[in-house]
């Protein structure tokens, strides 16, 4: 198995389940882990409870998805049974959190940290709520403030999840690093975009706009990871449209230490983690290189064959 | 073409109002479909909900709706010619056993997804159908075969539960030394399906049941419909005995729209609002 150490924790491989995909209970998180995912991420937890938007919320466009689920959450302090079930887990856990203000982020972060996840990921990048998330991810000062405030109240490594909507994502990543973030996760969904049904004459999503994910956004994700790699020295979880082992190789070359997948579950099932692990191993073997050797390779001319 | 991607807006061709409870909307459209699969039905500006198909032919399909909530009332109020969005079909569908020794157990609107299955099974099947009252018996005249009926109030057939009738059938076969059921198919309230499963387990009879959970994507990514470690929209909605044995949340826990896990009874009350 392709073990990896990430922020002092052992992971069985470098693949990560993106937040918002499955991630709703301990049972499914364990299943995804067993299917070959090194680090599973919970669906973002907020101060809730919050229902999210009415349907349609998630539509597959074939070349990727558009979604505006709207950050549904039972609320961090309304999940006793779930935290209980997770306390006996046998896999590393990344807990994604969000808030509508720095104070809410801090409130949720403090509580979630006490539940003992291996990592806390702050979702400062969700486009699907009028009030939450993305505001923090497009402004350096706001990103610094929320990262700094959360870092002070948690006992586990902090991962900042960024949005490609930032005019200069490298600067946002740098602000998070300066504020004490231990890693960057990029990217959240792109856009937002819109799909209009021309017969209904209205947007398909009930929220009208939604974040784009899957193969159609991979070039955006690769560019973001590339920019972040040049801006910070902390590790990066690279994700956005990764569906195959070769996509993962591309993310590593852009500068990712771990590679996440989400929409890929739509196209290749939960088995996609095992499949990508295998494809990645085959590629590395065929090219006589290790994963460490290709991380950031696209930045360095010496690695050109 | 109706596909799993963006909804296709199509005309509702015909509407059959069965009674004050049930209405079927027909669409003259081809759809690739196996009994037990479902589609996402979109009413622009209202909502989108999962529905099984209750009728299917190469050129037409029907969706039967019990009007009880905001969405379903609006759906059945639509006039023929009105447009609805459809995407799908989704889910696994029933595994069809060709044996003459099968039973179909329907509870209330659970008859809807079972109806296209009944037409594919051996005609000697044992057909059991229960509901609260006579009015809630869906498609009372649709099939030729004998139907064993039960109602909670005794307004039609046996006064009691479908499991009373199924238990009697299983016992009869045993006493008469007749071949036992090779498969029991059930759809209805989860408590009923659990009772059918438990009864089948005690007689070592395999069964398949179709579960219901709040859904969003329909294709296995959003996680809204997880039941234990199973994803109802893609691993199901049909689950067999082997899977049910390991499904801790079956008849126990379901997620609300917020993702909060609650006892099934609380979930059912919410869904019936």
Q: Please count the structural domains in chain B.
A: 2
Mean pLDDT score, A188-210: 97
Substitution target from A33, A58, A211 for chain B, most B beta carbons within 10 A: A58
In this predicted structure, the answer to whether residue A27 has a pLDDT above a threshold of 90 is yes
Q: Mind listing the pLDDT tens digit for each residue in A226-260?
A: 999 999 999 999 999 999 999 999 999 999 999 99
Say if pTM beats, i.e. exceeds, 0.90.
yes
CA-based nearest distance B130→chain A, Å: 32
Chain B partners within 8 Å of A73 (Cβ): 258-259
Q: Are residues B146 and B249 in the same domain?
A: yes
Residue B1 lies in a domain: no
Which residue in chain B has the smallest CA separation from A19?
B222
User: Both B63 and B131 in a single domain?
Assistant: no
CB-nearest partner of B6 from A52, A59, A202: A59
ipTM of the complex: 0.95
Is B121 in the same domain as B43?
Answer: no
Last residue of a domain, one of B44, B69, B90: B90
Residue A48 pLDDT: 84
| Rounded Cα distance, A76 and A68, in Å | 21
A73–B258: do the CB atoms touch at under 8 Å? yes
Q: Is residue B133 domain-shared with residue B242, that is, in the same domain?
A: yes
The string of pLDDT tens digits covering residues A253-263 is 999 999 999 99
Give exposure, B87-109, as e/b (b: 16+ Cβ within 10 Å): bbbbbbbbebbeeebbbbbbbbb
* B118 and B85 co-located in one domain: no
Residues B123 and B186 reside in one and the same domain: yes
User: Is there a catalytic annotation at residue A224?
Assistant: no
**pLDDT tens digit sequence for B177-231:** 999 999 999 999 999 999 999 999 999 999 999 999 999 999 999 999 999 999 9
How, if at all, do strands A236-238 and A258-261 pair?
A: parallel
As beta bridge partners, residue B39 has: B51
**Interface membership of A269 toward B (CB under 8 Å):** yes
**Chain B CB within 8 Å of residue A292 CB:** no
Same domain, B160 and B260: yes
Q: Does A202 contact B44 at a Cβ distance shorter than 8 Å?
A: yes
pLDDT class of A278 with cuts at 50, 70, 90: very high
- Using the Cβ of B192 and the Cβ atoms of chain A, whether some distance falls under 8 Å is answered with no
Instruction: Give chain B as a 3 state SS string.
Output: CCCCCCCEEEECCEEEECCCCEEEEEECCCCCCCCCCEEEEEECCCEEEEEECCEECCCCEEEEEECCCHHHHHHHHCCCCCEEEEEEEECCCCCCCCCCCEEEEEEHHHHHHHHHHHCCCCCCCEEEEEECCHHHCCCCCCCCCCEEEEECCCCCCEECCHHHHHHHHHHHHHHCCCCCCCEEEEECCHHHHHHHHHHHHHCCCCEEEECCCCCCCCCCCCCCCEECCEEHHHHCCEEEHHHHHCCCCCCCEEECCCCCEEEHHHHHHHHCC
Question: Could you tell me the pLDDT band of residue A135, with boundaries at 50, 70 and 90?
Answer: confident
Do B146 and B215 fall into the same domain? Answer: yes
If you measure CA to CA, which chain B residue comes closest to A63? B5
Query: Which domain does B267 fall in, by range?
Result: 102-271
Residues B117 and B230 in one domain: yes
CATH number at residue B73: 2.40.30.10
Q: Cβ contact (<8 Å) for B7 and A56?
A: yes
What residue ranges define each of the domains in chain A, with the CATH number in brackets? 4-303 (3.20.20.70)
Q: CATH number of the domain that B184 lies in?
A: 3.40.50.80
Instruction: Report CB contact under 8 Å: A62, B5.
Output: yes
Is there a domain that residue B97 lies in? Answer: no
Residues 125-184 of A with CB under 8 A from B: none
């Amino acid at each position: 198995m392709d073990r990896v150490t990430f922020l002092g924790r052992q992971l069985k491989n470098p693949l990560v389940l993106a937040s918002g995909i499955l991630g709703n209970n301990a049972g499914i998180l364990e299943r995804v882990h067993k299917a070959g995912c090194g680090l599973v991420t919970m669906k973002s937890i907020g101060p809730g409870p919050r229902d999210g938007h009415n349907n349609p919320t998630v539509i597959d466009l074939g070349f990727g998805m558009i979604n505006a689920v709207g950050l549904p959450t039972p609320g961090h302090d309304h999940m006793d049974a779930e935290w209980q079930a997770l306390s006996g887990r046998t896999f590393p856990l990344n807990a994604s959190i969000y808030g509508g203000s720095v104070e809410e982020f801090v409130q949720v972060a403090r509580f979630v940290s006490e539940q003992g996840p291996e990592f806390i990921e702050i979702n400062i990048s969700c486009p699907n709520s009028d009030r939450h998330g993305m505001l923090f991810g497009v402004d350096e000062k706001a990103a610094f403030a929320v990262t700094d405030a959360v870092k002070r109240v948690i006992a586990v490594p902090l991962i900042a999840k960024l949005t490609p909507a930032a005019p200069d994502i490298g600067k946002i990543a740098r602000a998070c690093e300066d504020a004490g973030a231990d890693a960057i996760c990029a990217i959240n969904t792109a856009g937002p975009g819109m799909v209009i049904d021309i017969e209904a004459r209205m947007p398909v999503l009930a929220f009208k706009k939604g974040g784009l994910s899957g193969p159609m956004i991979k070039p955006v994700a690769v560019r973001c990871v590339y920019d972040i790699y040049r801006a910070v020295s902390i590790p990066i979880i690279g994700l956005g449209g990764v569906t195959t082992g070769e996509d993962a190789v591309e993310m590593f070359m852009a500068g990712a230490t771990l590679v996440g997948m989400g929409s890929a579950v739509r196209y290749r099932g939960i088995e996609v983690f095992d499949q990508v692990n295998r494809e990645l191993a085959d590629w590395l073997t065929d090219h006589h290189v290790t994963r460490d050797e290709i991380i950031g390779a696209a930045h360095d001319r010496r690695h050109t064959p | 073409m109706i596909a799993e991607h963006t909804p296709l807006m199509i005309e509702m061709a015909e509407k059959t109002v069965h009674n004050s409870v049930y209405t079927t909307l027909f669409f003259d459209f081809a759809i690739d479909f196996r009994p037990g699969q479902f589609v996402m039905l979109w009413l622009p500006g209202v909502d989108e909900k999962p529905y099984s198909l209750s009728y299917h032919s190469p050129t037409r399909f029907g969706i039967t709706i019990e009007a009880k909530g905001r969405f379903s009332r609006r759906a059945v109020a639509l006039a023929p010619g009105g447009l609805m969005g459809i995407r799908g079909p989704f889910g696994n569908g029933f595994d069809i056993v060709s044996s003459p020794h099968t039973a179909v157990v329907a509870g209330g609107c659970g008859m809807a997804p079972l109806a296209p299955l009944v037409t594919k099974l051996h005609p000697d099947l044992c057909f059991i159908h229960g509901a609260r009252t006579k009015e809630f018996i869906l498609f009372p005249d649709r099939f030729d075969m004998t139907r064993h009926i039960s109602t909670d109030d005794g307004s039609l057939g046996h006064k009691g539960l479908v499991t009373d009738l199924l238990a009697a059938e299983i016992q009869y076969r045993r006493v008469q030394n007749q071949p036992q059921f090779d498969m029991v198919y059930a759809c209805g309230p989860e408590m009923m399906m659990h009772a059918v499963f438990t009864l089948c387990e005690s007689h070592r009879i395999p069964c398949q049941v179709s579960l219901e959970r709040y859904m969003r994507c329909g294709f296995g990514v959003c996680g809204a419909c997880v039941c234990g470690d199973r994803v109802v929209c893609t691993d199901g909605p049909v689950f067999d005995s082997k899977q049910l044995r390991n499904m801790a949340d079956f008849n126990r826990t379901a997620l609300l729209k917020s993702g909060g896990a609650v006892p099934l009874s609380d979930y059912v009350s919410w869904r019936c609002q």
